[in-house]
A and B are shown apart, each in its own frame.
Chain A
Amino acid sequence: MIEILSASALATVQDLGRTGALRWGVGTSGAMDPLALAAGNILLGNDEGAAAIEVPVFPFQVRFAQDCAFAITGADVAARLDDEALLPWWSAPARAGQVLQLGLPQPGPWRASRAYLCVAGGVDVPPALGSRSTQLRGAFGGHEGRALRQGDSLRVGSTNGEQRTTGIGLVPPALALPLHVDDLPAIRVLPAAEYANYSEASRAAFWSEPWKITAQSDRYGYRLSGTPLEAVSALEMRSHGIVPGVIQVPPGGQPIVQMRDAQPSGGYPKLGTVIEADLWRLGQAPIGSRVRFVETNWDDAVAALAQTRRWLDEVRRLVELHRGSR
């Protein structure tokens, strides 16, 4: 068991998301930084999609009620196990009774806002509709369908008695797969159906100006602030399926990027979609920070997805090499 000691809100149990339930109105949920979740699981010898704790507010403390290998990925949160400082993107063993503290995200070579606490065997909450991710709107999945609270205890999944190697770390994807424009994190976007309905000046501004992530941003969506986007004509759309990454533009002209807890359908006009391969970059961008959008095309977007897949495959190969050498 892992016991939650912090009263800080908004930490949730997430895996790689819920697929196949869109037809009942159920969105995907899942980790805002799926690369960090998958890599943390690979470090521990888990399936890539094992459930972990996503932590967006710090400090955050847990007590291990059992011996347990764990890994922390995502933001560098100056983690400490009792008094011992831990490296980011690293796996370590905990003994029963030890307390793990995640501190504030550190300024450094990469800036991120969410940490993932992965455990060997995964966080063992009951799957709901095929996933362990928390469905906040539907109040199911994850731990009792809600964010974690002080005093909650989470079961750790079985590793079938298998010892999991620890003491392995990774270079984070923010450094291994960097993408910047004018020193700001860059996010690639494929234009969507209503792209042409925005004025030429607005389209140019979307690609050339920085966009600030406002305080009204969360797992549901990122509300951005910048020069308002002007529609050539007001469109009243029919409701249709949407996915995380879709950039909707309400009539006020300030775009909203749909994130992992987004509704599976909507009706606001769509300027574009953040490509699947870059959703983690936006998911890690802190509130108040600025990002740039870069236009891409289908071939490059598919190639980017293959590139993140290759990175994960390489991580798995290195971890298995290390394990084999022990």
Chain B
Amino acid sequence: MTIARASISVLGTSALLFEAPGEMALESQQRIWALAREAQGWPEVREAVPGMNNLMLSFASAPRTLGDLEARLHAAWLVAKPLPLEGRVVELPVVYGGTGGPHMGDVVAHTGMSIDEIVERHSAPLYPVYALGSHPGYCYLGGMDPRIATPRRKVPVVSIPGGAVSIGGAQTGVSASAGPSGWNTIGSTSMHFFDPAQDPPALLRPGDSIRFRVEKVIR
């Protein structure tokens, strides 16, 4: 048996990026959560931040050399056991298409499916929250049907509104506030995902799940 090796690269002197080998799947992501929990205790690490099948370690201060930290990461990954986090399920009503889903046409064009097929496939799964990122309270979700995967846009959109439901590559998500995005927006919902006065400030955390309920489809 051969084990594909993870890749490690630097983000300037501020952080290091660990990318796990293999396909994106819940079990692999659960190992990323376990690795994050382990690495958070290391002295060089300010914050261990899970991404999608990857982990960023931001540095408290840039280590003089990286070899020791890289070796520790590889070793910890090999023994990392899936960390099952069982959170709550949040249901979000979505209006698909229309002015709230301006890029539905691009997803139709790329996939060759009808709007109804896309909506059916997008609203079927229970999406586990894999990681938070992008902007305050935003959740990266696993479990999207790969048949509706659509590449990110060639030029990012200057601003999409909060509540925008969008597809970027093989991923889907809901924006938590207005801002720029390279993803394809196919619908809209309304929910407050973030409050800096709360502890924790984000509504959802890794291990929670989102279900999209079809409120309306505008064709």
Binding site for B on A (CB under 8 A): 19-27, 128-129, 135, 137-141, 190, 192-193, 220, 234, 236-246, 250-252, 263-268, 270, 273-277, 298, 301-302, 305
A22: chain B residues within 8 A (beta carbon): 47, 49, 56, 58, 133
Instruction: Give Cα A25 to B136, complex, Å.
Output: 4
Assess the B58–A239 pair: CB atoms within 8 A.
no
A134 to chain B minimum Cβ distance, whole angstroms, is 12
Assess the A265–B62 pair: CB atoms within 8 A.
no
Instruction: Give Cα A193 to B201, complex, Å.
Output: 32
Assess the B15–A241 pair: CB atoms within 8 A.
yes
Assess the B58–A243 pair: CB atoms within 8 A.
yes
Nearest B-chain residue to A306, judged by Cβ = B62
B47: chain A residues within 8 A (beta carbon): 19-20, 22-23
Q: A250-B182, A265-B133 are in contact. List 20 more A-B contacts (CB 8 A).
A: A22-B133, A23-B132, A24-B201, A25-B133, A26-B201, A129-B201, A137-B177, A140-B196, A190-B13, A193-B19, A237-B169, A238-B24, A241-B54, A242-B11, A242-B56, A243-B15, A245-B11, A265-B131, A265-B134, A267-B168
A129: chain B residues within 8 A (beta carbon): 196, 201
Question: A263 with B133: in contact, given A20-B46, A250-B156, A252-B155 (CB under 8 Å)?
Answer: yes
- Bitwise, B154-175 to A at CB < 8 A (1) or not (0) is 1110000000000011110000
Binding site for A on B (CB under 8 A): 7, 9-15, 17, 19, 24, 46-47, 49-56, 58, 62, 64-66, 131-138, 140, 151-152, 154-156, 168-171, 176-177, 179-180, 182, 194, 196, 200-202
Assess the A267–B152 pair: CB atoms within 8 A.
yes
Question: A268 with B13: in contact, given A22-B58, A238-B24 (CB under 8 Å)?
Answer: no
Assess the A24–B169 pair: CB atoms within 8 A.
no
B199 to chain A minimum Cβ distance, whole angstroms, is 10
A240: chain B residues within 8 A (beta carbon): 17, 19, 51-52, 54, 56
Partner of B154, one of A25, A27, A241, A250: A250
B168: chain A residues within 8 A (beta carbon): 239, 267
Assess the B134–A263 pair: CB atoms within 8 A.
yes
B128 to chain A minimum Cβ distance, whole angstroms, is 15
Partner of B200, one of A24, A137, A139: A24
Partner of A298, one of B66, B200, B202: B66
Instruction: Give Cα A131 to B13, complex, Å.
Output: 22
Instruction: Give Cα A72 to B92, complex, Å.
Output: 49
Instruction: Give Cα A275 to B14, complex, Å.
Output: 8
Nearest A-chain residue to B193, judged by Cβ = A25
A241: chain B residues within 8 A (beta carbon): 11, 15, 17, 49, 51, 54-56, 58, 133
